[in-house]
Amino acid sequence: PSVVRYATLAVAALAYKDEGNLERFRQRDINSVLVSACSPHIDNNYFIAENMCHAISNLCLENANVSDLGKHGACGLVVNILYLYANMHTVVTQALIAIAALAVRQKTDKVHKGNTRKLVEKGALEVTMAVMQKFMEYDDVQRAGGLAITALARLDGNKLTLSALNVCELVSNSIQTHMSNPLVVVKLIYAVEALTHFCEPNIAKFVALNVVAILLQALNKHENVYYVVECIFKALINIILHNKATYYTAFTEAACKLYVKVLKLHEKHAKVARWGCHFIYVATAAPHMQLHPVTAHKDAVSPHGGSEKDDNDKAKNLKDHHKAEKHEDDSERAKKLEPKPDVIPLAAVSEV
């Protein structure tokens, strides 16, 4: 066991962001060796369990390894580890990162879809929710959980299953609990974006939880953090046209001033500018939102003379049109955690 323990740790270290080593490992059938060597020990050695998840996460930086690990049973092992060591936050953190690494990155990726289905079949949704609730105060667990939820929610059907497990309430609570930490907040807001993408029931739930006000609070607190600003704009695009009340909450006079302020602060950051302008365009182009957002009364007559239902239908069509323009790889960055200086770097599925 001691040899396996330190060998898996070495694999994790050598595989991290090193294309050459990743290729060498793959040529030497590392995925099969890793799973077969660790499987006999994970029930009674949490060091090996944790290190195996760490190694899997870093090996998954190469897509060929993702496919191979899925074939060799890594998905089931990782979920089993999460169940076995649900009381140990360090193991839980690594297992959640491994789930995010193995799961869907892009909806067009059949390999990751297959892995995600395997994860779900083994109970990944339920155990992810359970450990996030258990370790609500732990920054690392919430960051990793945000990654896992974002990845799992990309597979059709999982959004509503997660919703039934109270994911909307959990994520909203976690954002508020860790509001001062932008590295946690960004992962959780990406989870909001993934959960609300073309999913009206989840949007309605988040709206009922006052998520727009929560996002505005995060925007105000982290206005200087470009990656938080960017992901907030993306999440708001999914949510603001849910109904007029939501729209008015998002476009108070103070909120409008804040949007302009952050766009000016990050005027040289292309992605912030892109999503900020896209957010403003979607909002101002909505047919039933032509009244001034700060002064318009909720019950005012439509400027086009149509019924509110007609206007809402038009707005929904516009919202769906603009959502469809978002590239599938835009939220891929939500699958990375920044490395800590005093340990071997955590898996970095993508850059923030």
Dihedrals φ, ψ of 216, to 5°?
-65, -35
Task: Output the pTM of the full model.
Answer: 0.81
Long-range contacts: 317-320, Cβ < 8 Å, 24+?
Answer: 318/241, 318/282, 318/285, 318/286, 318/287, 319/241, 319/282, 319/286, 320/198
Segment 193-203, tens digit of pLDDT: 999 999 999 99
Of 313 and 9, the structure prediction assigns the larger pLDDT to 9
Segment 138-172, tens digit of pLDDT: 999 999 999 999 999 988 899 999 999 999 999 99
Instruction: Report the pLDDT value the prediction gives residue 320, as an integer from 0 to 100.
Output: 53
Closest CA to 161 of 129, 193, 115: 129
Segment 110-149, tens digit of pLDDT: 657 889 999 999 999 999 999 999 999 999 999 999 999 9
Model confidence at 186: pLDDT above 90: yes
Model confidence at 297: pLDDT above 70: no
Helices (H), 197-307: 200-208, 211-221, 226-239, 244-250, 253-265, 270-285
Instruction: Report the pLDDT value the prediction gives residue 305, as an integer from 0 to 100.
Output: 41
Mean pLDDT is lowest, of 61-65, 235-239, 241-245, 331-335, for: 331-335
Spell 272-303 as b/e; 16+ CB within 10 A means b.
Answer: beebbebbbebbeebbbbebebeebeeeeebe
Question: How many CB atoms sit inside 10 A of residue 209's CB?
Answer: 16
Model confidence at 183: pLDDT above 50: yes
Mean pLDDT over the full length of the chain: 84
Mean pLDDT value of segment 258-267? 96
Mean pLDDT value of segment 92-108? 87
Of 344 and 173, the structure prediction assigns the larger pLDDT to 173
Mean pLDDT is lowest, of 23-32, 122-131, 341-350, for: 341-350
Of 148 and 288, the structure prediction assigns the larger pLDDT to 148
* Burial label, 7 (beta-carbon count in 10 A; 0-12, 13-18, 19+): middle
Q: How confident is the model at residue 245 (pLDDT cuts 50, 70, 90)?
A: confident
CB–CB of 77/126 below 8 Å?
no
Q: What percent of the chain has pLDDT over 90?
A: 68
Instruction: Report the pLDDT value the prediction gives residue 283, as an integer from 0 to 100.
Output: 82
Q: From the centroid of its chain, how far is CA 312? A: 29
Q: From the centroid of its chain, how far is CA 38? A: 28
Q: Using CA of residue 329, residue 332, residue 334, residue 339, what is the dihedral sign?
A: negative
CB–CB of 207/190 below 8 Å?
no
